Amino acid sequence: MDYRFLKVSSGSEGVVRVTISSPATLNALNSAILAELDAMVDSLPATTRALVITGEGKSFVAGADISEMAHLSEAEGLAFGRRGAAVFKKIEDLPFPVIAAVNGFALGGGCELAMACDIRIASAKAKFGQPEVGLGIIPGFSGTYRLPKLVGQGMAKELIYTGKVIAADEALRIGLVGSVVEPEELESAVDALLAAILKNAPIAVRYAKACINGNYDLTADEAIDLENRYFAKCFTTEDQKEGMAAFLEKRKATFKNE
């Protein structure tokens, strides 16, 4: 599929890399970019094992497109918010790991997109924030839902109420990102993370994600039961047999995603 605002490439071992490319607007999310992200997710190959999302230029995503939002009615605002939230939920629900390589500004909708990913690796030059209240609105793409789950309610309230922008090292301190590297090391850091993930059994990784994401709104007993059931399902796979045989035989496992 041809995209106007996305650069999509598929590499070895089932890794798909997506770069949001609208540098003139700092990759701000408008309806067209959201539609392309939606279409991209729907067109991912069945063989995909990981997705990497980043931005072109000095911005990951600087926010939603204010020029598009400025004159929305209540009904139009509802539709726009639901559109973005639905795309991000679709990204979150992908069965394989999704990595945000945050190369620069991740503000508003950009921070919300990063939070919809499983893992966030940030350039030391990255900036994060939910500055919507300074525009007379609130986060509209699920920021009030995901941010408290990542950094706790108190810190989320402080960030959202003040609209302040924080540096990458502060994002690391509060748990918003998993690691911070120098800008020139971002790609290699992502590659190293991918290598660590891809050496493992693909089905087991997918089941682990299903448990973690599925735990969001469950009671402790329900979450433990969900894990138990996915744990049991692992024993129906050839990868489990290979992984344990390789361990006992002191050799490297060769997983076949079966």
Token match 């002191």: residue?
250
Within 13 Å and on the Cβ side, how many CA atoms surround 29? 29
Task: Compute the distance between CA of residue 99 and CA of residue 242 in angstroms, rounded to an integer.
Answer: 27
Catalytic residue among 112, 170, 187, 242: 112
Strands 179-181 and 119-123: parallel
Instruction: Specify the 3-state DSSP secondary structure of 223.
Output: helix
* 132 in catalytic set: yes
CB atoms within 10 A of CB 161: 10
Integer angstrom CA distances of residue 106 from 28, 60, 117, 130, 186:
10, 5, 13, 9, 15
Catalytic residue among 13, 36, 132, 258: 132
> Which parts of the chain fold into alpha helices (H)?
31-42, 66-69, 74-92, 109-116, 143-151, 153-162, 168-174, 186-198, 202-214, 220-234, 238-248
Catalytic residues: 112, 132
